[in-house]
A = this chain, B = another copy of it.
């Protein structure tokens, strides 16, 4: 792998394309007050949770309908100008940045839950609906949508990055839970993919081609999802361990014996300390698994007993239970806020986040080496992991003014990714490639596979206007 660790080289140097005044005029005529070229608006749409600084888009269209998106894309296509979809702005790897210039299409006003088919366990939503908003609307019908990246991301963005989160070990990721899409193609045409049936063998799986394509093949304008009955019983427990290794080995055993655990999250002692400080909790400051069990009352009890036994085999302490829904919510909110707890632990810092995912049997080695290297480098970090999937995140807390710290963080990430790929894993379990991981993709997927991706991109987007410069260089 020749991924550069020098921060100056992290953003591919591609010329900004010109956004002609004629396009801005045409957009203004079509969209009126739905178009903004105000500096503040452009800047807000020109940054995400990634550390990159690139010029903002030339204009922002606030789409209020699929037709708005189609018209914006069609106008941009006429001038060969890039379009970048914008949802919650919570992407991590630079997915939203206008590296080649262009216009941003903000889908936040497309925020309606269009249909809840409770009897089919499916919903159809607009792309600006966020995961929390969806769950608010589902709760009173006894349903929930399990995919939960840390941020309150938009469903369109979650589809585009193939997001997952803490529940993926039991319920899968966006890959498994998106049934159908409506997209706007590079030609500005509206196309539907998939059906509301659970399964289909009808032709190419366009739905899963678009899921995870990070806006490079089309703009997602509607998403149909699987949803689930709220479990009859839910119980959450915390278990602390004498070492990270013991916690990880317990997780591996849980997965290997096939316990249908809903969530199993790892925090190291360091991160528990940050979470305690941030969320005012009194968790034991030791390596910890945070677990949740879904099922019938006896099923949940049985799962928990089995996992407690496996934990005890590895020196784990007795489970501490979150008994009430409120206690459970508090615990999971604290877990979801681990990122912010990390940031708060070093005021003014920025986070360089890693996202490797490895086959489960390789997880202990991957985590232990990552921690040892971070300790040796002396860089502050947090460690959280969706360990049931083999996925974990090191968050290196760097001084944004220090190129040296950035370089160290990128070097650590690089080493981590290299080992994950060698172990049969991936450089990104759930954040996507964006800009930040582009250099890793050829090492992971191989030149042949990347060339297939490029061929598909060129065929579906011949002018390279759909979020260009992401995932791979053309």
Is B429 a contact partner of A201 (Cβ separation < 8 A)?
A: yes
Q: Within 8 Å CB of A255, what residues of B?
A: 121
Query: Is A75 among interface residues, defined by CB-CB distance under 8 A?
Result: no
Q: Within 8 Å CB of A209, what residues of B?
A: 204-205, 208-209, 456
Is B197 a contact partner of A201 (Cβ separation < 8 A)?
A: no
Q: Within 8 Å CB of A231, what residues of B?
A: 258
Is A432 a contact partner of B201 (Cβ separation < 8 A)?
A: yes
Is A389 a contact partner of B448 (Cβ separation < 8 A)?
A: no
Residues of A151-192 at the interface with B, using a CB-CB cut-off of 8 Å, are 161-164, 168, 172-173, 175-176, 185, 189-192
Query: Is A54 among interface residues, defined by CB-CB distance under 8 A?
Result: no
Query: Is A450 among interface residues, defined by CB-CB distance under 8 A?
Result: yes
Q: Within 8 Å CB of A444, what residues of B?
A: 195, 202
Which one of B161, B200, B446 lies within 8 Å of A201 (CB-CB)? Answer: B161
Which one of B175, B260, B421, B452 lies within 8 Å of A191 (CB-CB)? Answer: B452
Which segment of A273-281, A343-351, A352-360, A405-413 sits at the interface? A352-360
Residues of A379-421 at the interface with B, using a CB-CB cut-off of 8 Å, are 389-391, 420-421
Is B212 a contact partner of A359 (Cβ separation < 8 A)?
A: no
Q: Within 8 Å CB of A203, what residues of B?
A: 212, 433, 441, 445, 449-450, 453, 471-472
Supposing A121-B360, A299-B299, A302-B298 touch, asked if A202 and B427 sit within 8 A by C-beta, the answer is yes
From residue A236, how far is it (CB to closest CB) to chain B in Å?
19
Which one of B172, B257, B298 lies within 8 Å of A298 (CB-CB)? Answer: B298
Query: Is A431 among interface residues, defined by CB-CB distance under 8 A?
Result: yes
Is A425 a contact partner of B197 (Cβ separation < 8 A)?
A: yes
Query: Is A139 among interface residues, defined by CB-CB distance under 8 A?
Result: no
Alpha-carbon distance A27/B390, docked complex (angstroms): 45
- Nearest to A229 among chain B residues (CB) is B258
Alpha-carbon distance A192/B260, docked complex (angstroms): 30
Query: Is A193 among interface residues, defined by CB-CB distance under 8 A?
Result: yes
Is A201 a contact partner of B162 (Cβ separation < 8 A)?
A: yes
Query: Is A196 among interface residues, defined by CB-CB distance under 8 A?
Result: yes
Query: Is A437 among interface residues, defined by CB-CB distance under 8 A?
Result: yes
Alpha-carbon distance A117/B362, docked complex (angstroms): 11
Alpha-carbon distance A150/B395, docked complex (angstroms): 48
Is B257 a contact partner of A229 (Cβ separation < 8 A)?
A: yes
Q: Within 8 Å CB of A445, what residues of B?
A: 192-193, 202-203, 206
Interface string of A278-314 (1 = CB under 8 A from B): 0000000000000000011011001000000000000
Alpha-carbon distance A162/B197, docked complex (angstroms): 14
Is A426 a contact partner of B211 (Cβ separation < 8 A)?
A: no
Query: Is A459 among interface residues, defined by CB-CB distance under 8 A?
Result: yes
Is A441 a contact partner of B205 (Cβ separation < 8 A)?
A: no
Query: Is A371 among interface residues, defined by CB-CB distance under 8 A?
Result: no
From residue A316, how far is it (CB to closest CB) to chain B in Å?
20
Alpha-carbon distance A360/B199, docked complex (angstroms): 11
Q: Within 8 Å CB of A391, what residues of B?
A: 197-199
Q: Within 8 Å CB of A39, what residues of B?
A: none
Q: Within 8 Å CB of A164, what residues of B?
A: 199
Alpha-carbon distance A389/B228, docked complex (angstroms): 14
Query: Is A222 among interface residues, defined by CB-CB distance under 8 A?
Result: no
Query: Is A455 among interface residues, defined by CB-CB distance under 8 A?
Result: yes
Supposing A198-B357, A198-B360, A202-B441 touch, asked if A192 and B430 sit within 8 A by C-beta, the answer is no
Q: Which of A199, A391, A424 has the most CB of B within 10 A?
A: A199
Q: Within 8 Å CB of A206, what residues of B?
A: 445, 449, 452-453
A-B contact sample (7 more), CB < 8 A, given A175-B205, A202-B432, A458-B459: A185-B448, A196-B425, A197-B389, A201-B212, A203-B441, A206-B445, A299-B302
Q: Which 8 A-B pairs have the closest CB atoms?
A: A459-B459, A196-B424, A191-B448, A200-B426, A119-B361, A229-B258, A208-B208, A120-B359
Residues on A close to B: CB < 8 A?
A: 117, 119-122, 161-164, 168, 172-173, 175-176, 185, 189-193, 195-206, 208-209, 211-213, 217, 228-229, 231, 252, 255-258, 260, 295-296, 298-299, 302, 355, 357-362, 389-391, 420-421, 424-433, 437, 440-441, 444-446, 448-450, 452-453, 455-456, 458-460, 471-472
